[in-house]
Amino acid sequence: MARNIRFIVVHCTAGSQRATVADLQAEFRKKGWKNPGYHYVVFPDGRVVQLLDEAKVANGVKGYNSVSIHVAYVGGIDAQGRSVDNRTEAQRRSMLVILKDLHRRYPSARIQGHRDFSPDKNSNGKVDKWERIKECPCFDAITEYQDI
């Protein structure tokens, strides 16, 4: 049965830009997850690796996984462990390509960052910085990808 995809969620891995697929898989296993947190991962050189078939449910955003496809870039923190948008130009280009392709296949899906699932505590229609549960993906994915 096909999944009803309502969201294409952009993430960062919140780790080193030198992380490998094996490193990411080990992190997911350490969390006790059967499936990875992302369907696709974009490496600093622009290479895109599919970690999970789109028909399967990834562990990207609790409560929304069954209706989401998850795409992450490797990185998202600086040397001190603080959140930072440290995507390379190759990652930016590859993210755009994969997100355009996914949106073409799931045209009614909304592209947004993991942080945009945080609750709108003051009911102003947007998630303000102080309301975010996390910073992932460390940039405003809704604005950046609004023209896709």
- Residues classed as catalytic: 11, 38, 114, 134, 136
- The count of residues in the chain is 148
CB 64, CB 58: distance < 8 Å:
no
Pairing of β 48-50 and β 40-42: antiparallel
Q: Peptide bond preceding 107: is omega within 30 degrees of 0, i.e. cis?
A: no
DSSP state of 29: H
Distance, in Å, from the CA atom of 131 to the CA atom of 114, rounded to the nearest integer, reads 13
Alpha helices in the chain (DSSP H): 21-30, 89-105, 141-144
Q: Peptide bond preceding 137: is omega within 30 degrees of 0, i.e. cis?
A: yes
Distance, in Å, from the CA atom of 25 to the CA atom of 113, rounded to the nearest integer, reads 21
